[in-house]
Structure 1
Amino acid sequence: MTQIRTYLSLILFCFSTVLLAQEKKEITIIHGGDFNKDEVKYPGASIFSKDDRQVQFEHQGIDLWCDLAVYYQKENKIQAYGNVFFQQGDSIKMNSEYVEYDGTTKIALAKEKVVLRNNSMTLNTEELEFDRNKQEAFYDNFGTVKDSANVLTSDKGRYYMEIDKYEFKSDVKITNPDYVINSARMDYYTNTKNAYMYGPSTVVGEDYKMYCERGFYNTVAETGYGVKNTRIDYSDRIIYGDSLYFNKATEFASATNNIKVIDTVNDGVLRGHYAEIYKAKDSVLVTKKALAISLFEKDSMYIHADTLMVTGKENERIVRAFRDARFFKTDLSGKCDSIHTDEKTGIAQLITKIPPNTPENKLSAFRPVLWSGETQMTGDSIHIISNVKTEKLDSLKVWDNAFIIQKDSLSGVKFKDSLKQGYNQIKGKYLYGLFEENELRIVDIVKNAELIYYLWNDDDELVGIDKRLCGLIQMVMEDNEIDNTTSFINVEGIIYPDSELPVNGRKFRGFYWRGDEIISSVDDLFSEEDKNIKLPVINGVNNPIDIDNPNLAPEELTPINPEEEEKEETPTNTANSVNKKATLPKKAPVKKAEKEESSK
């Protein structure tokens, strides 16, 4: 009689469970196996354990299998133990040793050897919360995600199943045979393999390293983009900028706003507001307030132009400055249309294309010009030659129409008439100069050399104006000023008293003083247009937008504020959610429904 009552109770329990499940959407028992109750330890619960097959439950699109289950029908909750398998539809599958599932909230908490899988990835962790309402899974005690391309690890992670997106936090790492990524926080899309990085992040490949504090990385194409405190170590160059982009396949990188490119081999620096780097060609192009800085022993040379280009391998670098090129160092400066410097030969060429139909008296206004202090030198083409071994300035050559002008300081003081301001001048076909310790010391003017020079005695009285013609004039420089001159070969000339030399005879043909253009500092290199340049606004990465992801609907493409203070994420409050080893209920003697029926 007792057996009959037990059997009928089990039938009534199963029947009522089905009815309640239909009405209240409760958890449904598909296969109960062995049935038992333990009101002392599990009041109000039914205990099911496997027989020849695992216990199985179903609830609104999920199926759950386990070795043993404690089912609270009234609370609509279940605790599953041993070889738990949890499946949602055809795509989401989860294995663990323990699952606690709430049929009302539709939240599952899995513990011990948790493995979550779908068609594109596998997640391993020790504790995972699965919210079926939001279709999100969360862990906060380290997890490993593997997809077809990468292995990702982090201390915390949240998986958004509907858009194939992971949100990783704390000590995030992606490991790939070709690169390693470390980040403080990252959004990763398993569908596209795109990663969005927040906080200090590095991407280290075979021959590159990228650092940023906000950026994007396509882990398949190996293209990256950083917009906050960005840096790329690219072969023998280090690149900085407000935003940086690079592409491994094309070996190309670009930088925008406040860029700096450091040549780690040649102690060179390029600055500007836009740069392109072509690694395979050993080429760098810089525009927008472009500036090249080269170290010459204890001094530096600064070159500015509209566009700067550096090409060539180590010790064979070529620097080209295009359009309104200028340079400055402590004792020497100059300007021209373009500058071409060759590290292998040590030659820097100053080149200018003079506009057609320029009047003769205006030609020097367009020719390349050098200043040593306030001594002005012009010519059709100027070469500055450095010693490639010592890296010191060695010599100077001016080809055709060499012209040296220096304002005579005393005549400007003595004579109140501005028309009588004197200028010392040396003119000839060629100019050859020698440097000592990077200072211009000796200058030779060769072929059809002419001189006008103001002579003063020790009492600062004008003795006369020396005007001569010869084959060669040599002048010695001291503190960037003409100290003395010597004439050679067929010397013809006369020293005129001041009163006997008319004003129009005190300047050679082609005279053009460019004193208002003298470059006395690095700041003088830049025009007003350069100084007032308006930089483009860096919009940044529209994280977590993933434009390549076909699963994202337009309404889901909503950027978040990158500056928003990061909030600590915690799992939804569930019963017994402490991350500890799940404990199996002690097995009591079971009652077999089939056996009871046969023994009636």
Structure 2
Amino acid sequence: MNVGDDRETHDEALCGNDGKLASAEAKNKPTRYWGFSPPIVYLADMAHHPSPYRLLPVLALSLLLAGMLTTQHSCAQKRSNVQVLGADRLQGSVVGDMDIRELIGNVRMRQDNVLIYCDRATQNITRNSVELVGNVKILQDTLELRTDRGYYDGDTRTASSRKGVYLNDGHVTLTARLGTYNTGSKIADFLDDVTIEDTAATITARRMRYTRDSSLIVASDSVRIQFKDENVHIVADSVRHYPDAQRSFFYNDPVLWQIDTVHAELNSLGEYDSLEIDTLNIAADFMQALRDSSNIFLTEGNVRIVREDLAARSAIAHFLRDDSLIILMGEPILWYGENQITGDSIAALLVNNELRALDVIGHAFSISRSKPSEQDTLYPPDRFDQTSGKKIFMHFEESSPQRIRIEQTATSLYFLYDEGALNGVRRESSDLIIIDFADGQVSEIRSIKGVEGAYYPEKYVTGKESSYNLDGFEWRDDRPLMIRSR
């Protein structure tokens, strides 16, 4: 059954062609009945019925006149009503001062470019709203919204539901326990168990807003994002995600995990059982993911990085995923094994998940805990091998140092051993120092140009080890640990 919208006729009874009230004509307009009993009583018919409105004081009359002026304005800018396109059954009634329609079976409705479908609907013509029940579907251009039970407000152009919501617009798929969608602004606000999925990522959160025109997703409260084409997982307090621009901004202590272990999975506590194996962990105050051709993660504020026996701290860090390169700035410090590196900036290159190279620029300083051999598990107290210069370049194989190159005002300090016995300390300075390693131990030190050096026998060193430290020496104990969960 196709049903026209009698509200249009009612508006015409109140408004003339020029938008002025036509109450005189409306008074003489015969009462119209539609659907089934009880009949609808139009506002224009109220003059013929006893009404408490006649007893209202002057204030009420003033309010009524104000309402008439508002009606004149709405006539000039005609209200967009929800129209009924069809239903199997329809009946009308008056509840209080509200005109009500009940539509049952294959309900089809429309407001401008919005189509509404459901099994049953209760339309409040006076308020321009509809309660929707059963297989609810709302369409607008490429968007489809589905729910079991919902409400549509024609004046605010807002659809809402508290019975589970599904939204798909061809760009994202969004589900939640409850939510609203405004067909005018094209903004969706969802709450509780919210999941949104696009071609690049899946985001879960307790609260989420999706702005279709700007392709912006704003999520807050227990946010988790999983990038699909890579093994990166981030949790944060809030996130701004732009699917089309492939950019994401994470706020309030975000934490990133890059899981390279094939079988690493979350357990029932939301933790990774095999987290220590081939896993990169980055935490900071703020994080930005640029997932276009650059594929870079930018982090700022109290940055902490952990991967196997490598760890770092800095004010700023850039993680270039395609190059497996980590760049640290802002008082950076990096640890690998029992070694500590500081400088104005540090670049760490990872190859096959192993440390391959370190470039330290500006006030470069390297400290290693000294021991007689690689096989020894105990370190002599207060003995640290050290190098310093304006630049330090380090090359590694299987995460073990192979060569260190110190440039410009280069200085080195190494404690010596004779078949495991303590054997003094050697200090050198020059324009360039190259240190080669074998089996994890120093095999050769070459000083080039402007060489100065000294050897101090063990009898002058024992108990006074710290007095030989290079200027700027500071062994720190604030090495960050792996963050298992949030």
- Which of 297, 302, 311 is the matching residue for 2:281? 302
Matched, 1:332 2:332: no
State whether residues 82 and 109 of structure 2, in contact with CA within 8 Å, keep that contact through their aligned partners in structure 1.
no
* 1:486 alignment partner in structure 2: 444
Percent of pairs identical after alignment? Answer: 16
Matches within 5 A, 1:330-409: 330-343=308-321, 345-352=323-330, 367-386=331-350, 394-408=356-370
- Cα offsets for 1:454-508 (capped at 9, x unmatched): 44566x6534334444632435497xxx543521235744252044463453311
Structure 2 Cα separation of the partners of residues 208 and 477 of structure 1: 55
Q: Which has the larger radius of gyration?
A: 1
State whether residues 107 and 119 of structure 2, in contact with CA within 8 Å, keep that contact through their aligned partners in structure 1.
yes
Give the letter for the 1:433 counterpart.
Answer: M
Structure 1 Cα separation of the partners of residues 187 and 404 of structure 2: 56
Give the letter for the 2:84 counterpart.
Answer: T
- Please state how far the C-alpha of 1:382 moved relative to its aligned partner: 0.7
Structure 1 residues 213 and 409, CA, compared in 2 at 3 Å: closer, same or farther?
farther
Structure 1 residues 489 and 218, CA, compared in 2 at 3 Å: closer, same or farther?
same
Structure 1 Cα separation of the partners of residues 391 and 35 of structure 2: 96
Structure 1 residues 408 and 392, CA, compared in 2 at 3 Å: closer, same or farther?
closer
Matches within 5 A, 1:36-51: none
Give the letter for the 2:33 counterpart.
Answer: D
- Please state how far the C-alpha of 1:218 moved relative to its aligned partner: 0.9
State whether residues 332 and 370 of structure 1, in contact with CA within 8 Å, keep that contact through their aligned partners in structure 2.
yes
State whether residues 426 and 445 of structure 1, in contact with CA within 8 Å, keep that contact through their aligned partners in structure 2.
no
- Cα offsets for 1:23-45 (capped at 9, x unmatched): xxxxxxxxxxxxxxxxxxxxxxx
Structure 1 residues 185 and 221, CA, compared in 2 at 3 Å: closer, same or farther?
same
Matched, 1:249 2:213: yes
Structure 1 residues 519 and 457, CA, compared in 2 at 3 Å: closer, same or farther?
farther
Unaligned stretches of 5+ residues in structure 2 = 1-29, 45-79, 263-277
Matched, 1:421 2:382: yes
Structure 1 Cα separation of the partners of residues 296 and 379 of structure 2: 48
* 1:213 alignment partner in structure 2: 177
Structure 1 Cα separation of the partners of residues 120 and 285 of structure 2: 49
- Which of 446, 456, 462 is the matching residue for 2:422? 462
Structure 1 residues 119 and 297, CA, compared in 2 at 3 Å: closer, same or farther?
closer
* 2:65 alignment partner in structure 1: none
- Cα offsets for 1:279-334 (capped at 9, x unmatched): 45432111101123335576232222211112251x42222111222211112110
- Please state how far the C-alpha of 1:153 moved relative to its aligned partner: 1.8
Judge which range, 203-212 or 126-135, deviates more.
126-135
Structure 1 residues 333 and 475, CA, compared in 2 at 3 Å: closer, same or farther?
farther
- Which of 109, 129, 138 is the matching residue for 1:174? 138
Aligned residues: 396
Structure 2 Cα separation of the partners of residues 206 and 386 of structure 1: 38
Structure 2 Cα separation of the partners of residues 392 and 461 of structure 1: 32
Give the letter for the 1:453 counterpart.
Answer: Y
Give the letter for the 1:464 counterpart.
Answer: G
**What SS is found at the alignment partner of 2:192?**
coil
- Please state how far the C-alpha of 1:408 moved relative to its aligned partner: 4.5
* 2:87 alignment partner in structure 1: 125
State whether residues 412 and 421 of structure 1, in contact with CA within 8 Å, keep that contact through their aligned partners in structure 2.
no
Judge which range, 220-229 or 190-199, deviates more.
190-199
Structure possessing the higher relative contact order (Cα contacts under 8 Å, 6 or more residues apart): 1
**What SS is found at the alignment partner of 2:334?**
strand
> Aligned Cα RMSD in Å?
3.5
State whether residues 286 and 308 of structure 1, in contact with CA within 8 Å, keep that contact through their aligned partners in structure 2.
yes
- Please state how far the C-alpha of 1:441 moved relative to its aligned partner: 3.7
Matched, 1:433 2:356: no
- Which of 498, 518, 525 is the matching residue for 2:479? 518
Structure 1 Cα separation of the partners of residues 43 and 87 of structure 2: 22
* 1:157 alignment partner in structure 2: 121
Structure 1 residues 436 and 456, CA, compared in 2 at 3 Å: closer, same or farther?
closer
Give the letter for the 2:196 counterpart.
Answer: I
Structure 2 Cα separation of the partners of residues 271 and 473 of structure 1: 43
Q: Tell me the TM-score normalised to structure 1 length.
A: 0.58
Unaligned stretches of 5+ residues in structure 1 = 1-59, 67-76, 79-85, 92-117, 353-366, 532-600
Structure 2 Cα separation of the partners of residues 184 and 454 of structure 1: 75
